Every structure is written in C-alpha cells, then in structure tokens.
Amino acid sequence: MLTPGEEKIDTSNLPAHIAVIMDGNGRWARQQGAMRIFGHHHGIKAVKDTVEASAELGIKYLTLYTFSTENWNRPKMEVDGIMQLLVTTISAEVPELHKNNVKLKAIGDIASLPTKAKRQLQDGIDLTKNNTGLTLILALSYSGKWDILQATKAIVEKVKSGELETDDITEQTFSAHLATEETPDVDLLIRTGGDHRISNYLLWQSAYAELLFLDDIFWPDFRKKDLIEAIAEFQRRERRFGKTGDQVKN
C-alpha cells in the first residue's frame, strides 16, 4: 500500500541517507504554555512517524540528532527529562522496530550517557543488529567536531603503531573512522524549527548534502507528509557535485 502522498516522489531516486535536526520542541511547548519537556514528549510522535515512513518508503539510513554534545549545557532538569524519555522510548519502541526489520545504531560519546540509557540502547542495538531494512541511527552526545577529533585520534594511533601509513590516509580511510563508519554520506539534511544552521551535526558527512530548512514547522508537528514533501523537494534539486549542469544531465 502506498503511503499517502507517496505518488509525489520517485521511489527509484530516494536519498540513501536522510539526517534530521529535530528542532523546535521547546518553542512548541511554550506556545502551548507548557514546560519545554512537554515538547520533547510530543517529539516522540514525530520520531515514530518519520521512522515508520522512512522504513515504508525504503530509505536506507536515517540519522536523528537526538542529543548534541552542547545539549549537556541545558538545565539539569531538561537533560534528565530527555535522558528519561530516551530510556522509556527505546524500551517501548524497540520491539516494533525489530518487527519492522529496522536496525538500531547509535553514534556519539555513548560512554557519557546515564547507565540505564546505555543499557537500553545496547540491548536494542544487539537485538536488531541482523535486521536488513532501515538503519536508524541515534546521534547521542554527538557533535561533528567530536566525531572528526575521535576519528583523527584513532588514525594517529594506527600510524603510531605502524598499522597505517600517513600516505595511505584517504577520504575513504577518514570516513571509515568516523562514528558513522560505512554509512554513506548524507544526501538530505532536514532541519525543522526555522533556524538555518548545521549546529555541529554531521560536518564531514554532510559535505554535499542538500539542506532543507523548514521555517514553518516545529519538530512535534512533523509528520509523514512533511517527510514526503522534503523528499519531493530533494528530487527537484540538481545535484552537481562540482560539475556543470550540462555534465550531470548527460
């Protein structure tokens, strides 16, 4: 069965990797006169819709910016609330993800997460590791600069131990040491909430991503139809990768 609106997109030309900056939860809650955490709770419905639609459409990789390195600087009550929400959401949703053949992964400084969150996450990753459908990657305690630094350190260690020659370090070698490992680069980066910035997300991996900033929608209101509209916009763009328009048309 077609997802409503699916006829708008060409399913033979889907972005392989969609990354999302789920912004605007706090402002959405404030609009309702509620605490910021209320917005994060409502963000879960948008996460579920997006994951479900991505799996149905045949998207291979979906990376969600769930908690950035910089988010640790938020008030403790909000950080604790998000971590709690992470635990309850993962434990509630992993069986459904598994049933739908979704593979769960996480990138970021996972060691810095609370023990309970780490455990839930690892259980979900272990359970779904052989699934072959959508790969859902949660970016947790993640930042692009953190990722580039950890990859650099890992490469330096290999050069020091003689496992790798400096001259053999290519873009491919570097990519393989990023937390995203073998995941293809981001094709489409969507940010809700009206801000037009990358906020230290997948910096290396988004080098040629199509950027889509949604001005009129906060994350808790994002639904399948918005994902489909975003993919339709992606398909209207001409991706030239530094070549001329004539070259890519031929």
Residues annotated catalytic, as ranges: 23, 71
C-alpha angle 51/56/57, rounded to 5°?
Answer: 100
Q: Which lies closer to ligand FPP via its Cβ, residue 54 or residue 151?
A: 54
**231: contact with ligand FPP by CB under 6 A:** no
Greatest distance between any 2 Cα atoms in the chain: 59
Question: What are 86's two structure tokens?
Answer: 């992470």
Residues 6+ apart with CB under 8 A from 106: 121, 125, 137, 138, 139, 140
Between 47 and 86, how does the x/- string for binding to ligand FPP read (CB under 6 A)?
Answer: x----------------x-x----x----------x--xx
**25: contact with ligand FPP by CB under 6 A:** yes
Least distance from ligand FPP to the Cβ atom of residue 31, Å: 9
Residue count, binding to ligand FPP (CB under 6 A):
19
Q: Which lies closer to ligand FPP via its Cβ, residue 151 or residue 186?
A: 186
Phi, psi of 137 (to 5 degrees): -110, 120
C-alpha angle 184/60/23, rounded to 5°?
Answer: 85
**214: contact with ligand FPP by CB under 6 A:** no
**108: contact with ligand FPP by CB under 6 A:** no
Residue in the block written with tokens 């290396």:
204
Least distance from ligand FPP to the Cβ atom of residue 83, Å: 9
**193: contact with ligand FPP by CB under 6 A:** yes
The residue type of 68 is: S
Which span (4-12, 16-24, 103-111, 205-213) binds ligand FPP, by CB under 6 A? 16-24
**143: contact with ligand FPP by CB under 6 A:** no
Beta carbons within 10 angstroms of residue 184's beta carbon:
13
Q: What does the DSSP assignment read for 179-244?
A: TTTTPPPPSEEEE-SS----TTSSTTTTTTPEEEE-TT--GGG--HHHHHHHHHHHHHS---TTS-
Q: Which lies closer to ligand FPP via its Cβ, residue 120 or residue 155?
A: 120
Least distance from ligand FPP to the Cβ atom of residue 22, Å: 5
- Name the residue number minimizing CB distance to ligand FPP: 26
Question: What are 196's two structure tokens?
Answer: 């037009």
Query: What is the binding site for ligand FPP (CB under 6 A)?
Result: 22-27, 40, 43-44, 47, 64, 66, 71, 82, 85-86, 89, 138, 193
